[in-house]
Amino acid sequence: MTDNKKSGLLVVVSGPAGSGKGTVLSSLMQDDDYRYSVSATTRGPRPGEIDGVNYHFLTREAFEARIAAGEMLEYTEYCGNYYGTPKREAEEVLRNGYNLLLEIEVAGAANVKRLYPDAVLIMLLPPSFTVQEARLRGRGTETEEKILARLAQTREEIPHVTEYDYVIYNYDGRADEAVADIRAIVRAERAALCRNADAATRYFQ
Ligand code: 5GP
């Protein structure tokens, strides 16, 4: 049960293509204590993506206006498009005591940590680069060029793992273990003394 007196935990999950982020996060979202932050982006919707559910799809002008108005908690330009976390929704969710999941790339994660040192950064990885490559090819949905671009991106992103608090591996057919690991991290972090320094005062309230 969510404790209404305590604000929620800001949880950032990053992971390269083929890490199984989608599966792991949608499983976490079955849990009542978690909310997913719907990002804004200037990239066009992919087949099946719904505005307001997968992303808030915005024009460049609209996105830049939101940046100028200070409405983005963080944002970045990635592969030629803006991606950002709407601030108002995020703060409201945290105030209401829910854990807020941000699924963002490494530059955004570093920005979040700078602005909110309390945030917990989790890197979700395939077991190895070789397995990642096999997963991307196994999907059979992308061109060779796209696969190579994603693998090149991965080579740049992985060294940033040192900026994260936790690393979790998503083994083939064992996504439920990765989900359980994230739940365990969030439970432990919420109980950490650094987030409960006022425990004595609260106790007598
Ligand atoms: P895609 O276009 O494949 O949905 O996302 C591309 C990358 O953008 C992914 O690595 C995803 O984690 C990241 N991303 C999605 N939303 C945000 C956001 O709000 N902020 C940042 N910094 N990255 C995001």
Please, which pLDDT band fits residue 79 given cuts at 50, 70 and 90? Answer: confident
Position 142 scores a pLDDT of 84
Instruction: Give the residue, out of 75, 78, 100, with the most ligand 1 atoms within 8 A of its beta carbon, to mutate for a pocket test.
Output: 78
Q: Please state, in angstroms and rounded to a whole number, the distance separating the CA atoms of residues 1 and 136.
A: 38
DSSP sequence for 149-168: HHHHHHHHHGGGGGGSSEEE
Instruction: Give distance in angstroms: CA of 19 to centre of ligand 1.
Output: 14
Q: Which strand ranges, in their side-by-side order, compose the sheet holding 81-86?
A: 56-57, 40-41, 81-86, 72-78
Which residue has a Cα nearest atom 7 of ligand 1?
105
Q: Is the CB of 170 under 6 A from ligand 1?
A: no
Q: At what angle do helices 144-157 and 129-139 cross, to 10 degrees?
A: 150
Q: Is the pLDDT of residue 205 over 90?
A: no
Helix locations, 38-166, DSSP H: 60-68, 87-95, 106-115, 129-139, 144-157
Lowest mean pLDDT among 100-104, 181-185, 201-205: 201-205
Which candidate, 66, 180, 39, 82, places its Cα nearest to that of 122?
A: 180
Q: Please state, in angstroms and rounded to a whole number, the distance separating the CA atoms of residues 168 and 90.
A: 24
Residue 20, both tokens: 């199984």
CA 131 from chain center: how many Å? 22
Position 1 scores a pLDDT of 45
pTM: 0.94
Condensed to tens digits (0 to 9), the pLDDT of residues 60-69 reads: 999 999 999 9
Q: Is the CB of 154 under 6 A from ligand 1?
A: no
| Residue partners of 32: CB distance under 8 A and separation at least 6 | 2
Residue 57, both tokens: 């799809």
Q: Is the CB of 76 under 6 A from ligand 1?
A: yes
Work out which ligand 1 atom sits closest to the CA atom of 111. 22
Work out which ligand 1 atom sits closest to the CA atom of 14. 12
